Chain A
Amino acid sequence: MHELPARDSHAGDADAARSLEQREERALLERLRAGEPEAFGTLVRRHGAQMLAVARRLLSHEDDAREVVQDAFLSAFRAVASFEGGSRLGTWLHRITVNAALMKLRQRRRRHEEPIDAYLPGFLADGHQARPAEDWRRSAQEILSSREDRQYVLDCIERMPESYREVLKLRDIEELSTQETAELLSIEPNTVKVRLHRARQALRALLDARFRGNR
């Protein structure tokens, strides 16, 4: 008889852990639906840190992020009876938090948004890059190992026009699909794609100012 490869036994452990997690999640959902007060505390302690991290990534002020997490939990408590369990509880709460954060951003939105054109690449009449791109001096990993450079990246994201920053965060950071992002922002999927490409180009231009140059 052949011994099972180690990989399979790890996969089995992972499956067992997932199945235990799913059973615990179902049990928690039943307690929430029954209105057990302790169950609400358990839900907040189990998912609160993750939701706060999402809110902090989308909003720059700590007070706003906390307010959003509170709003998101209150919405979740109200809707828990209708949660069908088609997605994982964590995924459902992530979506509610993103939605609450977007509502907060809309309340705060400035009337006039800076145009993004200044950050987009320029071209000569023959279609060549007006300022030919060069590789950066350091790899992404090297840049990320510096706290100061990580902060520079975060500051550049905050400098981008809001409607572009919003799409970049939802697609590239929160990893929502084009369709999910379009639904949350009430815009067309094609608009999401256009804004995402421009947002990446704009952020690239902002980062280029610091990292440009041959290795």
Chain B
Amino acid sequence: MTCREVIEFLMDYTSGELPHEVRAEFERHLELCPPCVAYLHTYEQTRELARHACISQDKAVDADVPEELVRAILAARAAERR
């Protein structure tokens, strides 16, 4: 298996979807290839960074919905019913 194939199969590997025999070959490649191990680490770090950077963005803003938005939504509902 080449580095190109390892990187192509990376998502299936991390989600546990690789067939058993391909997984064994994949792991044999990783034992011998530090750059592919580094690629795998940084690929997983990327997922973690994306998720947590977006979620921490939520904490930085209000925990409550802005009152003017509540009023706008209820007014739009009332207007729809007229």
Contact = CB atoms under 8 A, between A and B. Distances in A.
Interface of A: 40-41, 44-45, 48-49, 51-53, 56-57, 66, 69-70, 73-74, 77, 121, 123, 126-129, 132-136, 139-140, 143-144, 150, 153-154, 157, 168-169, 172-173, 193, 196-197, 200-201, 203-204, 207-208, 211
Nearest to A178: B15
Interface size bucket, B side? 35 or more
Contacts of A134: 35, 38
B30 to A, nearest CB: 12
Contacts of A53: 58, 61
Interface in B36-55: 36, 38-39, 41-43, 45-55
A128 B7 CA distance: 10
Contacts of A127: 2-5
Contact of B46 (A41, A51, A139, A207): A207
A113 B39 CA distance: 27
A56 B66 CA distance: 14
Interface in B17-65: 34-36, 38-39, 41-43, 45-58, 61-65
Given A45-B70, A144-B56, 10 more contacts: A41-B74, A49-B64, A74-B73, A74-B80, A127-B4, A133-B35, A140-B48, A200-B43, A201-B43, A207-B45
A193 B61 CA distance: 32
A132 B80 contact: no
B54 A154 contact: yes
B73 A132 contact: no
A169 B42 CA distance: 18
A70 B78 CA distance: 13
A129 B49 contact: no
B77 interface: yes
